[in-house]
Amino acid sequence: ATSSDKGGIEGAVNEAYNKYKDLKEGKNADYIPELAKVPSEQFAIVVIAPDGKVYSKGDADAMYSIQSISKVLTLARDIEDFGPKAIQDKIGVDPTGQKFNSAVFVEENKGKELNPLVNAGAIAATSMVKGNTYEEKWNTILQTHNDFAGRQLSVNDPVYKSEAATNQHNQALASLMNSFERMYFDPAKSVDIYTKQCAININTKDLAMIAATLANGGTNPVTKKKVVSPETVAHVLPVMATCGLYDDSGIWFYNVGLPAKSGVGGGIMAIVPGQYGIAAFSPRLDEAGNSVRAQKAITDIVNKLGLNPYLVK
Ligand code: GLN
């Protein structure tokens, strides 16, 4: 390790990359047709330190859709604007233990006791976003993503169109939520904004910067912009810890001990509070919908660097 890499981060990143670069387990998401076309071999790992220093390996500039990871940013926006109690009351903050797009859970619980990281709760969170019109809400969401990433992002139009043409299930979830009075804006428009937010294009450096901003109490470590308050982050991270990897959230937290969030585009970010933002990307997913290589790479790096906060030696 060099003096600027006292923690041996570079070595840990390289080691994880080399260990998993030939792993072919899992498969691309294909329920959104455009995602099936993303080159499955792509693999990237990026760690960002508190001073903004970037450690990266692999296809760190390859662009892909953020998908469910956007749910975290929209949640942060809502908590910042309306306070933590509003999310707890209007959506819920308990893990469902079900698939991320479960309608059964919504029906059984009358749209209550969800969380903002499963689809029904996330669409409700999008519907709550500040603004009176579609455009105002969308601008609030995109600006929040830009601020977290520290640069101007844009929508991957083919992915947006592809999902918009095939998202009847999410439309059904929104209608069901609406029937229980758990939607806070027009359901069809809310699903459309949600679909667009999921199609925001990022690379793995952006994802690590988003993670680093959360690790840094809501202030982007490079642009120094305060995106959300430390109190907001303190409410976002526990939801990630309990609900971040769909119905495998428990397994993840059991093994890694860090809040994280995955997306069906193949990205995963993990947060080491007060320290690092860690991101990895590879399109092939396991049964739960989490990137196989990204999970393994982040797990190895966390263990190698001793970043699990529950491990006190
Ligand atoms: N846009 C995707 C959906 O609604 C996001 C799901 C995900 O990444 N798990 O199905």
The answer, yes or no, to whether residue 52 has pLDDT greater than 50, is yes
Q: Which of 74, 119, 163 to mutate to test ligand 1, by most ligand atoms within 8 A of the CB atom?
A: 119
Residue nearest to atom 6 of ligand 1 (CA): 68
Give 43 or 97, the one with higher predicted confidence. 43
Token reading at 191: 């699903």
CA separation, residue 110 to residues 116, 187, 247 (Å): 15, 16, 20
- Cα of 263 from ligand 1 centre, angstroms: 7
**What residues form the annotated binding site for substrate?**
68, 119, 163, 170, 194, 246, 264
Residue nearest to atom 4 of ligand 1 (CA): 119
CA separation, residue 311 to residues 36, 153, 255, 297, 305 (Å): 38, 37, 11, 19, 11
Tokens 């998401």 found at: 29
Query: Which of ligand 1's atoms lies nearest the C-alpha of 262?
Result: 8
Which DSSP string corresponds to 254-295? Answer: HHH-S-EEE-TTSEEEEE-TTS-EEEEE-S-B-TTS-BHHHH
- Cα of 10 from ligand 1 centre, angstroms: 32
- Cα of 68 from ligand 1 centre, angstroms: 5
Tokens 């495998």 found at: 248
- 218-222 CB contacts, 8 Å cutoff, 24+ apart: 218/76, 220/147, 220/148, 220/150, 221/48, 221/50, 221/51, 221/52, 222/52, 222/150
Q: Which CATH number applies to 70-198: 3.30.930.10, 3.40.710.10, 3.40.50.2300, 3.30.530.20?
A: 3.40.710.10
- Cα of 276 from ligand 1 centre, angstroms: 26
Cα dihedral sign, 210-216-222-225: positive
Instruction: State which amino acid sits at residue 29.
Output: A
Q: What backbone phi and psi angles, to 5 degrees, belong to 127?
A: -65, -25
The most distant pair of C-alpha atoms in the chain lies apart, rounded to whole Å, by 59
Residues contacting residue 199 through CB under 8 Å, at least 6 positions apart: 65, 66, 155, 156, 157, 159, 160, 163
The answer, yes or no, to whether residue 7 has pLDDT greater than 70, is no
| Average pLDDT of the residues in 30-44 | 96
CA-CA distance, 5 to 155, in Å (whole number)? 35
User: Angle CA(238)–CA(240)–CA(245) in degrees, nearest 5?
Assistant: 145
Q: Which helix (H) or strand (E) holds 231?
A: helix 230-243
User: Angle CA(60)–CA(63)–CA(69) in degrees, nearest 5?
Assistant: 95
Q: Which helix (H) or strand (E) holds 44?
A: strand 44-48
Token reading at 251: 């397994």
At 37, the pLDDT band (50, 70, 90 cuts) reads very high
Closest CA to 72 of 251, 160, 255, 200: 200
* Ligand 1 neighbours by CB, cut-off 6 Å: 67-68, 100-101, 119, 163, 170, 198, 263-264, 289
Residues with active-site annotation: 68, 71, 194, 246, 264
Residues contacting residue 168 through CB under 8 Å, at least 6 positions apart: none
The answer, yes or no, to whether residue 3 has pLDDT greater than 90, is no
Bridge partners (DSSP) of residue 154 are: 201
Work out whether strand 267-271 and strand 277-281 pair parallel, antiparallel, or are unpaired: antiparallel
The answer, yes or no, to whether residue 1 has pLDDT greater than 60, is no
Bridge partners (DSSP) of residue 269 are: 261, 279
- The four Cα atoms 57, 218, 251, 248 give a dihedral, to 10 degrees, of -90
Q: What are the pLDDT digits (tens) for 80-102?
A: 999 999 999 999 999 998 889 99
The answer, yes or no, to whether residue 49 has pLDDT greater than 90, is yes
Q: Which of 32, 171, 194 to mutate to test ligand 1, by most ligand atoms within 8 A of the CB atom?
A: 32
Query: Which of ligand 1's atoms lies nearest the C-alpha of 100?
Result: 9
- Cα of 67 from ligand 1 centre, angstroms: 5
CA-CA distance, 288 to 290, in Å (whole number)? 6
Q: What's the CATH architecture for 3-67+201-305?
A: 3-Layer(aba) Sandwich (3.40)
The answer, yes or no, to whether residue 173 has pLDDT greater than 60, is yes
Its ipTM equals: 0.95
The mean pLDDT value of the chain amounts to 96
Query: Which of ligand 1's atoms lies nearest the C-alpha of 170?
Result: 4
Q: Where in the chain are all domains bearing CATH 3.40.710.10? A: 3-67+201-305, 70-198
pTM score: 0.97
| Average pLDDT of the residues in 235-242 | 98
The answer, yes or no, to whether residue 4 has pLDDT greater than 60, is no
Query: Which of ligand 1's atoms lies nearest the C-alpha of 263?
Result: 8
pLDDT of the residue at 2: 46
